Amino acid sequence: MSAISISGLHKRYPRVHALDGIDLAVERGEFFGLLGPNGAGKSTLINIVAGLTRFDAGRVSVLGHDVVTDYRKARRLIGVVPQELTYDPFFNVREVLRIQSGYFGLHKNDAWIDELLAALMLTEKAGANMRALSGGMKRRVMIAQALVHRPEVVVLDEPTAGVDVELRKSLWAFIRRLHSEGHTIVLTTHYLEEAEALCNRIAILNRGRLVALDTKPALLARGIGRTRRVCVTTEQPLAGLPGALEQKVRRRDGHMVELQLDKGTDSVMAVLDALRAHGAVITDLNMEGADLEDVFVELTRGK
């Protein structure tokens, strides 16, 4: 039985076909990535799975429970951390978690609440009003809210958006722990390096359609033989590049310039010769194959 099963899913708004025939399954125990550019339909899909948005056609179930006909059990089995920071300003952290527990009929849940507070480093803030918390602390409380009823499936919609590096690391350590304990994790993120580091299997949405669904190695293999990234370090920073090379610049950083080359048409030796002819003294060279970002851009650039 899949953790999340979606078949023939359609969702239309007056001017947008937000989801156009989505078919996918997230298996139990997976760390699953759901990627796509802004407006691709990711949040709409998550809201449908969570029972917050109606859909026009198709079927969606959580651990075999239909999100429409068996919505009580489906919602009991899933916890969603939304992208937006939403909170009740009239309660402190512990009160918020107790109220959230009550929505699921859990009236003696303090032991688990204490464990969540400790795991998310919120123990010292348990009595603090939500208004007094920083953005990062509010994000932790929202994760605790999503987990307070011990759901088997956890959906994280941009959980590290706008948080600092230290908090991001602590959040991922906690989420890895959840995954190791058997929870199914579904992650949406614009930080593709996070998805590449964490997810076993990845789906990519674009304009409401599923354009890729595969394991991480299989997705990365799509870039092999097509593109390569060449990082060139020069003795002096380059003010500019020869015309054709300027179009291939992916990143500049002082003495280093990173180029995106097509293996079929771009010769590395020709690129180096052009740089030398331009007056560059090359001190270092590094070449790499495609990464998840390359695959993502290729699939979503809107051919």
Q: What is the pLDDT of residues 217-230, one digit of tens each?
A: 888 776 654 667 78
> What mean pLDDT, rounded, does the chain reach?
87
31-35 and 201-206 strand pairing = parallel
- What's the pLDDT score for residue 136? 83
Give the residue from 184, 205, 221 where a domain finishes: 221
Cα 262 to Cα 94: distance, rounded to the nearest angstrom: 55
Q: Provide, rounded to the nearest whole percent, the portion of the chain with pLDDT above 90.
A: 46
Q: What average pLDDT score do residues 152-172 get?
A: 82
- Domain assignment present for residue 212? The answer is yes
Does 72 share its domain with 175?
yes
Does 163 share its domain with 64?
yes
- Domain assignment present for residue 102? The answer is no
- Domain assignment present for residue 90? The answer is no
Is residue 78 classed as helix, strand or coil in its secondary structure? Answer: strand
Q: What average pLDDT score do residues 275-288 get?
A: 82
Q: Which residue has the higher pLDDT, 163 or 45?
A: 45
**CATH number for the domain harbouring residue 69:** 3.40.50.300
Residue 289 has pLDDT above 70, yes or no: no
- Domain assignment present for residue 10? The answer is yes
**CATH number for the domain harbouring residue 255:** 3.30.70
Give the residue from 171, 192, 221 where a domain finishes: 221
Does 164 share its domain with 42?
yes
Does 291 share its domain with 183?
no
Please report, for residues 18, 100, 141, 200, 203, the alpha-carbon distance to residue 145 in angstroms, rounded to integers and kept in the order given: 28, 6, 6, 26, 26
- What's the pLDDT score for residue 272? 84
Q: Rounded to 5 degrees, what angle do the CA atoms 42, 43, 46 make?
A: 90
Does 156 share its domain with 295?
no
Give the residue from 203, 221, 239 where a domain finishes: 221
What's the domain count of the chain? 2
Neighbours of 199 (CB within 10 A): 23
Q: What average pLDDT score do residues 75-81 get?
A: 93
- Domain assignment present for residue 83? The answer is no
Please report, for residues 8, 25, 80, 178, the alpha-carbon distance to residue 21 in angstroms, rounded to integers and kept in the order given: 5, 13, 23, 31
What does pTM read for this prediction? Answer: 0.77
Does 273 share its domain with 242?
yes
Cα 201 to Cα 298: distance, rounded to the nearest angstrom: 18
Residue with tokens 């997810």: 199
- Domain assignment present for residue 249? The answer is yes
- What's the pLDDT score for residue 303? 47
Does 65 share its domain with 160?
yes
Q: Which of 145, 83, 81, 85 is nearest to 116 (CA)?
A: 145
Task: State both tokens at 168.
Answer: 């991001």
Does 67 share its domain with 172?
yes
Does 10 share its domain with 71?
yes
Please report, for residues 14, 20, 137, 188, 207, the alpha-carbon distance to residue 44 in angstroms, rounded to integers and kept in the order given: 15, 12, 26, 12, 12
- Domain assignment present for residue 169? The answer is yes
- Structural domain including 169 reads 4-77+151-221
Residue 151 has pLDDT above 70, yes or no: yes
Does 215 share its domain with 233?
no
Does 70 share its domain with 16?
yes
Cα 224 to Cα 167: distance, rounded to the nearest angstrom: 34
- Domain assignment present for residue 29? The answer is yes
Does 185 share its domain with 294?
no
Please report, for residues 128, 193, 213, 294, the alpha-carbon distance to residue 218 in angstroms, rounded to integers and kept in the order given: 47, 16, 9, 13
